[in-house]
Copies of this chain bind each other. A is one copy, B any other.
Amino acid sequence: MSYFKDIAPIQFEGPDSDNEFAYRHYDPNEVVMGKRMEDHLRLAVAYWHSLAYEGGDPFGGRTFERPWYGDDMAAARAKADAAFDLFGILNVPFFCFHDADVRPEGGSFAESRRNLEEICDVFAGKMQQTGTRLLWGTANMFSHRRWMAGAATNPDPEIFAYAAATVKACMDVTHQLGGENYVLWGGREGYESLLNTDLTREAEQAGAFLSKVVEYKHKIGFKGAILIEPKPQEPAKHQYDFDVGTIYGFLKRFGLENEVKLNIEQGHAILAGHSFEHELALAGSLGLLGSIDMNRNDYQSGWDTDQFPNNVPEVALAYYEVLRAGGFETGGTNFDARVRRQSLDPEDLVLAHVGAIDICARGLKAAAAMLEDGGLEKMRAERYAGWDSDASQAMLKSESLDEIAARVEETNLNPQPRSGRQERVENWVSRFV
């Protein structure tokens, strides 16, 4: 019998439903801007938070009592059963996982790899049966003690080697399962203390490692995207993949800016001192927007709270940037969110996703309405219209500082500021959210 007992698959019942176990806004088949909502959002459940997380925090241990907790293959199979039950109840098209979420650590690298392959065979069968797909796979290179000082950026080359082998194994199963992306998040790729750290060496290691990952992707014919996930700190004091701007510089340095895209998370943007929409817009502008980790960070907490989203105005601005950048190609919306450690019941796990999915549906529809209306883009274009003239473009592209200066004096130029109309633009947005 399922852990979720008699919870039936969640159906769309419309905004007036008062059934907790129904979607009020997410109708997979509703067409938004010419595409089914399911195909826009490309929702995914995160295996680690929803199946593997045990309810611990830095001051307390396991609070959940899931029957599949354990360190052997039988537990891993039971977990997979519950996972696909959950995917089915939620009717989401995708899931995501790390190796360590799905298989027990083996006594050797080879055993860990075989465990992973064995459980991925289980996944393959279930995916075949249910139609659920893999949005992305990834390697957990932060939990085991061997990673404590980094994976690719470890002071010890043996750890680098172990990391390389680990990523290869995870890329292999991701490829085999038809995964649409492969993600790298470097929670230990950074430092606890600058004093014992060699930034120059570690950057070179990181660049070489990522180059090998890209090379291997092409070698095996993996067609998905390679995605890096920015986060500024936590667990490390400083992490090298700090934010979108930093990663762009890293990719340029190693000539990888056309090979790698980004998986951007709300909570990580907040920790880096940015809004989510900023990071999305910047990635869009740089051609790096790949996928999103949808969650919410508590604004009063200084760590990564990974809560389910519940603020429609914020989510709408996020999807506005996604749609403006052309929408997802291989990417999607992964709920990198976990129920609070006091939310013990199976119902909590299901309903947290249900609420979040409805929030995403509302956000997407508002974003689409704003984009179809076009009001914001029109205001933006008008603000910069002066730059569209030939003279302005000529100045930008070919005039020198002294040529421009001469013209400023000759024409006694005295430009007057014009209103930025911020509140009017915000009011316009408020109509839609």
Checking B278, B301, B308, B404 against A302 with a beta-carbon cut-off of 8 angstroms, the contacting residue is: B301
Known: A143-B59, A245-B246, A400-B219. A340 touches B422 (CB 8 A): yes
- Which residue of B has the minimal Cβ distance to A383? B155
A82-90, A124-132, A406-414: which lies at the B interface? A406-414
From A34-42, A173-181, A265-273, give the one contacting chain B.
A265-273
Which of B108, B201, B399, B422 is A193 in contact with, Cβ under 8 Å?
B422
Minimal beta-carbon separation of A147 from chain B (angstroms): 7
- Number of contacting residues on A, CB 8 A? 154
A316 to B371, CA, bound (A): 26
Residues of B within 8 A of A242 (CB): 243, 245
Docked complex Cα distance between A432 and B420 (Å) = 33
B-contacting 9-mer, from A1-9, A115-123, A326-334, A423-431: A423-431
A75 contacts chain B at the CB level, 8 A cutoff: no
Q: Does A10 reach chain B (CB closer than 8 Å)? A: no
Is A339 a contact partner of B423 (Cβ separation < 8 A)? yes
The majority secondary structure among interface residues of chain A is: helix
CB pair A216–B402 under 8 Å, yes or no, is yes
CB of A258 within 8 Å of the partner chain: no
A194 in contact with B277 given A161-B404, A245-B245, A351-B423 (CB within 8 Å):
yes
Interface residues of A in 140-177 (CB under 8 A from B): 142-149, 155-162, 164-165, 167-169, 171
Enumerate chain B residues within 8 angstroms of A397, measured Cβ to Cβ: 208
Q: A147 to chain B: which residues have CB within 8 Å?
A: 60
